[in-house]
Structure 1
Amino acid sequence: MSTGVASQGSLRQRNVPGGKSTTPAPAVPSDNAALESIARERAQATKSTSSEASYWAGFVIITALAFVTRFWGISHPDEVVFDEVHFGKFASYYLERTYFFDVHPPFGKLLFAFMGWLVGYDGHFHFDSIGDSYIANGVPYVAFRAMPAILGALTVSVTYLIMWESGYSLPACIIAASLVLFDNAHIGQTRLILLDATLVLAMACSLLFYIRFYKLRHQPFSRKWWKWLILTGFALSCDISTKYVGLFAFITIGSAVVIDLWELLDINRPGGALSMRLFIKHFCARAFGLIIMPFIFYLFWFQVHFSILSRSGPGDDFMTPEFQETLSDNVMLANSMTIDYFDELTIRHKETKAYLHSHPDRYPLRYDDGRVSSQGQQVTGYPFNDTNNHWQILPAELGAEHKLGRHVKNHDLVRLRHVGTDTILLSHDVASPYYATNQEFTTVSLDDANGSKYNDTLFEIRIEHGKKKQEFKSVSGHFKLIHNPSKVAMWTHTKALPDWGFRQQEINGNKQLAPSSNVWLVEDIPSLGEDDKRRVKVPRKVKSLPFLQKWFELQRSMFWHNSRLTSSHPYSSQPYQWPLLLRGVSFWTNNETRQQIYFLGNPVGWWLASSLLAVFAGIIAADQLSVRRGIDALDRRTRSRLYNSTGFFFLAWATHYFPFFIMGRQLFLHHYLPAHLASCLVAGGLVEFIFCAEPEPENPKPVKKAAPAEPKHFVPARERYAGQSLIGCWIACGVILGLAIAGWYFFLPLTYGYPGLSVDQVRQRKWLGYDLHFAK
């Protein structure tokens, strides 16, 4: 190219009107050389245009097929399927403006609500049970399912663009995109009202946008440079604003940015050393674009969430009374009553919903581990309303009848009398049945409570976020009951006591006061008559809270409940099972037609991608070992692409896969979808490395260094494969594509839910013992 430009400049100089040639060489040979150079440039430009056209043709075909495979038969089944009971319900709540609680951030659910709003749906159907009919309830379910289907189809397109923008050959682009295009798991997850289509597309866009940003590294702080930096941050924000596992994309991009900044810091870098002032400018720009801006976008979706959900709803119980006062029609606040001394109360644990309960039976002398109890009266958590749940709240001072009719207030010392057995609640320095470090809760007679054990019967009412001398109220007054002498909080958990405790919940004293699991509330005041003036409902004015206060409270609740998702599930799976596709998930069945939707990837594609991940790791290890022994098997350009480009995709896979091994929550196969997409990118890059790699010339001709500029599009066929045949790569592409299509078609009935299969047909698809229905 530089030679051609120089030749054209010579021609222009000789053809200046009235000018004389200053070139000493003979005219004819010089003209011939210039003409040959121009001819070569035109030939290369023609080839470039032809190559780019082939890439665009592949892109259009891949995108069209993505929409076909995602929308084909999307109206079947016309019933609620699997987790549509959650995310369809949330969309309805948005449209009704009814407050709900979910452990996932709002962005993905807002998209569903937006689609419902577009088609004029009012949110009347609440997706209560799997199998409920959409047709009978007049739900525009196809419109809802169309949203993830569109996003899923675009994910295939973005996968293709990632490979194209990274400079890979056309076969490599087709391989990577087709492994996603014909994957049954990606198709199945994007044809239903689920969040993963949004999550995976945002993750893929973050990779694409960062690649576009990195290609402009020689044009820092230009408009395009800023554009792709901000778009990368926006994609990352959409990722984490859909599910918190979107944090893994931040780790991927963050790792690449750290490596990039480390290279910029090198005083011997090829482009020249940067001053520390300019380096700090680079650092601050990336921090702004990839941390601050994503956080602002993240907050924005919560602001939209709070603005829409202005009415009281099923999510109220997860929030504090102060938060609930910001919601109109809040039943809790309408039913709350001021608590007076000597009232009879029913006290309920906020999280487990168990009532504070006691009965005449006593703790056993010895527990199973040999520890000795006090043999005191049992105090337990009971799930049902019962007269043994009634407790009378008494002032701390003995003989304080003058406090009759006085309000109980925050930080007051009180005592609780169990009405059924006429005993006083007590905690003392005796180990509880299940926790040797926690104190036992029991009750004692009035004589003992008013005598030697008086101090052990004193408890402090500590209202959550309460002010000094704030009145203690039923329902709305969430509180912790703190044992005054020992400063432990009354606490319960879901593990049932043995038979001697009637399988009820243990109540004990927790030394850790901060956890929200110590919170209780007074559900009712049974001693009040129906006509008592305290039961009169007074209209309450809706209050407001600062956005950040509401946001912090919701974040705490979301993280806590997310961490509690540890119970077993019949279709949960472990991370080590995902790459080999050892287990799927049953989404829906129809006994009459023998139809079923079983969430499962395309085994051919998954096993190929997983195998190539191992191959990539082996190649890197072998190359490093060879270099250490002085054997340089790869040329500079091939090694650079293998490490920097395919290595980046491998990094994306690793950061989206390995963190799941340290998670304690329920995990399912769909958690692997972002990592699977990254493995498809690795597969495309590695197939090119194996079949299409072109060695770098041993003695390249010196070329005049010019200021680097971003090409409009990568045209690998011209830049990297000039004069080289891609027959091997195309053959590999054809074989892989054929196998992927065969696997997709074979498992198609399990992905699309039709047609129904016979017993033999179901058994044929139990490749690794998949727990399919109708196999007998």
Structure 2
Amino acid sequence: MGESKVKKEEKVEAKDEKSEIVEEIEILSGIDGKNTNLWWGAFWGIMLLAFATRFYEVMEPVWVCWDETHFGKMGSWYINRTFFFDVHPPLGKMMIGAMGYLTGYNGTHPWNKPGELFEDHPVWGMRGGCTLLGTFIVPFAFIAVWDLTRSLSASILAASLLLFDIGMLILNRYILLDPILLFFIAASVAAMFRFRTLENEPFSTRWWVWLSITGVMLAGSISVKFVGLFVVLLVGIFTIGQLWDILGDMNKPLSYTCKHFMARALCLILLPMVIYISLFYVHLSVLNKTGNGDGFFSSLFQTTLEGNKLQNATVAGELSYGAHITLKNHKTAGAYLHSHHALYAEGFGAKQQQVTTYAHKDDNNVFIIKRWNKEPLNITDPSVDPEIDYVRNGDLVRLEHVITRRNIHSHNQPAPVMKRLFQITGYGENGTGDANDVFRLEVIGGKEGEVVKAVVHKLKFHHYFMKCVLTTTGKNLPKWGFEQGEVACNPTLRDPNSLWNVEDNYFPKIENITLADMAPGFVSKFIESHKVMLQGNAGLKPKEGEWTSKPWEWPVNYKGQWFSAIEEHRVYLLGNPIIWWGNIVLMAAFILTLMLYYFRSQRGYVEPVNKVVMRETTVSATSWMFLGWALHYFPFYTMGRVLYFHHYFPAHFFACCLSGIIADYLIAEACSLVTSRGVKNVVFHTLFGLVLAASAYGFYLFAPLAYGMEAKQGMGRESNSTYHQIHWLDSWEF
């Protein structure tokens, strides 16, 4: 995609010839043009229409829609400084919280479920702020295409496809991360291609400014959602191409290429990293109060949260036999090892006492750690003077449940849910069981014989005979198990969910430590936050009965998504089918154009310079947009997590830009077949107008999906419904 110096010179020479079809005009100072007023008129016309369509009745419906229940709630937690867990980086939620705070919202709306009325809570700033950012996607597309092609008509077409797309409109009118993410992705692309136009002004002030803006917008993209990495990859490929061209300029020394590399490393790598880390510092500093996200993080992490029970807690620092302990699992949202008097149900392994995980503090979480062949003294008896007998790495131990006096036990019976694993039960009477109660304790990364420490050491319990590890499966038991977490013994010894740490540790003779003294610093919390987010993302699986979508369905607009299903005002996320299906046709036209371009080049066809330059410009511009589309679309085929229709919209941004460019090229090619200048203008304006009119007509037809469908007008699939005329596919649910 890099352009040789010779080709660039040819483009300059052909500029006057090309202007017969597409006029060059000015966007910013430093660009020569012929019709500045026309450019600005088109730009502001697009801007006004974008604002009008996005902000029209933006506070309708007056209740929580779809995922607003999550992100509105998270915005409230920022305002109240309440800690929570989410699988995405923090910037988008912080911005939503800031929007609400700056417009008078105090973070008190409960956001319990979709359909819940806002009542007198002033959430207009949050919804309006997200809508504002989503509005700018349209002008960003206009500017990006202009900088790639210098074609005003291509810029208008690309921006109009996004402007008149009902799906993009709907997604950008609610309190969601999507409009914020799309804002940063579109801004990154616009800034990147603006920087591309300054390649003849290296190291000038404007050059540095646009390179830095690109880095800032990349930081914003990755700080909203991890899928922002795709636009980072796009800019990375673009940068490599630029550096390769610079390296090939034999008139410049190698040090000149190194200087360019260092500038890009500073603005596109170091600057985004500093911004990203700084945003996490703000995030972790603001959310300093205990909340429902505490349990997803380690015991030490929780000591940093104001109001958490562990913040001012004291525990025995080292572990002795006879100590009363609780064991917390290191899995994301890891709960406590737990048991109770209830037995496993008939047909679910041995009918012995249940052992589960339980997320809340409870007396049934407490166990006594014992030597495998010796009963410890009762440390709760004031008449007993127990001696310290340290538990060490590699010891053989038993775990006795304090309340029921049964030992943690495993045997050759299948676990109740994950049948390929072995069952874990509570077994024995008054602390006496059998040899299947014995486990070998391992301190991860510890030395043989090292004394086990509370909280800080990660532990594994290896069953001595079954050669499996005590683990949690992430599955819940049926109702007879109170839907608590399943505990099993896994023969796969490297199971990441088999890590535990001692949280509570009571032994009267061992000096207590204050957990707050071991509180981790920012770097440790930053690293742990990412581990938890990545595990959480990987664990996003569809729930039973939940409808999801597949990537192949997205480009063809196969099925939409309900945003509001309440009868008074129904909103259904669906793309404008004229635009979406047109994108598929125009993408095929791009592939044919690309093949024709390389075929003609290989065969050495001689053509007018203006046609060659236009085709090269089109191929270069559409290739970048196709790469952006592919990077934001195809990776979803490899993801095991739950997927939804709205995941396609970053790719859709690039598809619309590509369609605008290739449609403009095809119109210009059609005009070139006509010799008369007057007829050529008629053909151009007719075809150009048809594309805009078709897009606008699709917007007109499907506008009720965005601005609200009333129940009295029926469902689209009903033949007597007002909306039946636009129910083109049976898979559309409205």
The AA in structure 1 aligned to 2:648 is Y
Write the deviation string for residues 638-690 of structure 1: whole angstroms up to 9, x where unpaired: 33212221211111111111111111111112111111111111111111211
Show the 5 A alignment for 1:405-484. Answer: 411=393, 414-417=397-400, 423-427=406-410, 441-442=424-425, 445=428, 453=435, 457-460=438-441, 462=443, 469=451, 472=454, 480-483=460-463
Gaps of 5+ in 1: 1-42, 368-372, 697-720
Q: What residue is the counterpart of 2:572 in the other structure?
A: 598
Checking the alignment, whether the CA contact within 8 Å between 1:341 and 1:404 is kept in structure 2 is: no
Q: 1:232 aligns with which of 193, 206, 214?
A: 214
Q: In 2, distance between residues paired with 1:499 and 1:541?
A: 38
Q: CA 1:140–1:296 in 2, change beyond 3 Å: closer, same or farther?
A: same
Q: CA deviation at 1:362?
A: 8.1
Show the 5 A alignment for 1:605-644. Answer: 605-629=579-603, 631=605, 635-644=611-620
Does structure 1 residue 728 correspond to structure 2 residue 706?
A: no
Q: 2:163 aligns with which of 181, 184, 187?
A: 181
Show the 5 A alignment for 1:246-645. Answer: 246-266=228-248, 271-333=249-311, 351=333, 353=335, 356-357=338-339, 377=352, 380-381=355-356, 392-396=367-371, 398-402=373-377, 404=379, 411=393, 414-417=397-400, 423-427=406-410, 441-442=424-425, 445=428, 453=435, 457-460=438-441, 462=443, 469=451, 472=454, 480-483=460-463, 488-495=468-475, 506-510=486-490, 517-520=497-500, 545-568=520-543, 570-591=546-567, 593=568, 595-629=569-603, 631=605, 635-645=611-621
Q: 2:178 aligns with which of 171, 196, 216?
A: 196
Q: In 1, distance between residues paired with 2:303 and 2:190?
A: 44
Write the deviation string for residues 560-595 of structure 1: whole angstroms up to 9, x where unpaired: 10110122474421111111101111111223x3x2
Q: CA 1:291–1:726 in 2, change beyond 3 Å: closer, same or farther?
A: farther
Q: CA 1:471–1:750 in 2, change beyond 3 Å: closer, same or farther?
A: same
Moved more, 271-280 or 556-565: 271-280
Q: CA 1:683–1:342 in 2, change beyond 3 Å: closer, same or farther?
A: same
Q: In 2, distance between residues paired with 1:334 and 1:609?
A: 59
Q: What residue is the counterpart of 2:15 in the other structure?
A: none
Q: In 2, distance between residues paired with 1:48 and 1:344?
A: 79
**For the aligned residues, what is the CA RMSD?**
4.3
Q: CA deviation at 1:556?
A: 0.5
Q: In 1, distance between residues paired with 2:412 and 2:722?
A: 65
Q: What residue is the counterpart of 1:124 in the other structure?
A: 108
Gaps of 5+ in 2: 1-22, 381-385, 715-720
Does structure 1 residue 73 correspond to structure 2 residue 57?
A: yes
Q: CA 1:363–1:587 in 2, change beyond 3 Å: closer, same or farther?
A: closer
Q: CA 1:505–1:210 in 2, change beyond 3 Å: closer, same or farther?
A: closer
Q: 2:188 aligns with which of 206, 209, 214?
A: 206
Q: CA deviation at 1:557?
A: 0.5
Q: CA deviation at 1:743?
A: 1.4
Checking the alignment, whether the CA contact within 8 Å between 1:347 and 1:389 is kept in structure 2 is: no
The AA in structure 1 aligned to 2:622 is T
The AA in structure 2 aligned to 1:414 is V
Does structure 1 residue 743 correspond to structure 2 residue 698?
A: yes
- TM-score normalised by the chain length of structure 1: 0.77
Show the 5 A alignment for 1:94-133. Answer: 94-133=78-117
Q: 1:692 aligns with which of 668, 682, 687?
A: 668
Q: In 1, distance between residues paired with 2:89 and 2:430?
A: 54
Q: CA deviation at 1:241?
A: 0.6
The AA in structure 2 aligned to 1:658 is F
Q: CA 1:545–1:63 in 2, change beyond 3 Å: closer, same or farther?
A: same
Q: What residue is the counterpart of 1:165 in the other structure?
A: 147
Q: In 2, distance between residues paired with 1:354 and 1:762?
A: 53
The AA in structure 2 aligned to 1:152 is G
Q: CA 1:287–1:488 in 2, change beyond 3 Å: closer, same or farther?
A: farther
Q: In 2, distance between residues paired with 1:91 and 1:384?
A: 25
Checking the alignment, whether the CA contact within 8 Å between 2:593 and 2:619 is kept in structure 1 is: no
Q: What residue is the counterpart of 1:52 in the other structure?
A: 36
Q: In 2, distance between residues paired with 1:448 and 1:125?
A: 50
Q: CA deviation at 1:448?
A: 12
Moved more, 610-619 or 537-546: 537-546
Checking the alignment, whether the CA contact within 8 Å between 1:168 and 1:688 is kept in structure 2 is: no
Q: CA 1:213–1:658 in 2, change beyond 3 Å: closer, same or farther?
A: same
Moved more, 739-748 or 332-341: 332-341
Q: In 2, distance between residues paired with 1:418 and 1:744?
A: 65
Q: CA 1:168–1:296 in 2, change beyond 3 Å: closer, same or farther?
A: same
Q: In 2, distance between residues paired with 1:444 and 1:765?
A: 65
Q: CA 1:757–1:602 in 2, change beyond 3 Å: closer, same or farther?
A: farther
Q: In 2, distance between residues paired with 1:52 and 1:728?
A: 24
Query: When the two structures are aligned, how many residues end up with a matched partner?
Result: 681
